[in-house]
């Protein structure tokens, strides 16, 4: 079982899909390292927020991932 990545907003456009399942990796940085460079760069932008299993993260180095986890990438919200 791998890790499910969920892309929202403009990140979905960069990824080319709303979801992607990737092989298991123990850290978010390891997950990003295995993605295509353009997508990894977009996901590393400072304003992109991350949620693991529905919990918004403050520190991307903090969580230790488990098989079957879901990581959602939330782009900055704009509007008026």
In a domain, 80, yes or no: no
In a domain, 43, yes or no: yes
Q: Which two tokens stand for residue 67?
A: 């098989």
* CB atoms closer than 10 angstroms to residue 77: 9
Residue 53 is given by DSSP the state T
In a domain, 51, yes or no: yes
Count: domains in the chain: 1
Give the pLDDT of residue 70.
97
CA-to-CA separations, 7 to 41, 71, 80, in angstroms, rounded: 14, 9, 23
Q: Which two tokens stand for residue 27?
A: 């850290």
**Residues in the chain with pLDDT values less than 70:** 60-62, 78-80
Give the pLDDT of residue 76.
84
Domain that holds residue 36: 3-74
Give the pLDDT of residue 59.
73
Phi, psi of 17 (to 5 degrees): -165, 160
State the CATH number of the domain containing residue 69.
3.10.20.30
């Amino acid at each position: 079982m791998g890790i499910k990545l969920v892309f929202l907003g403009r990140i979905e456009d960069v990824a080319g899909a709303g979801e992607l399942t990737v092989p298991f990796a123990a850290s978010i940085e390891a997950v990003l390292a295995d993605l295509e460079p353009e997508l990894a760069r977009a996901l590393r932008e400072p304003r992109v927020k991350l949620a693991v299993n529905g919990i918004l993260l403050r520190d991307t180095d903090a969580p230790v991932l488990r098989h079957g986890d879901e990581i959602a990438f939330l782009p900055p919200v704009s509007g008026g």
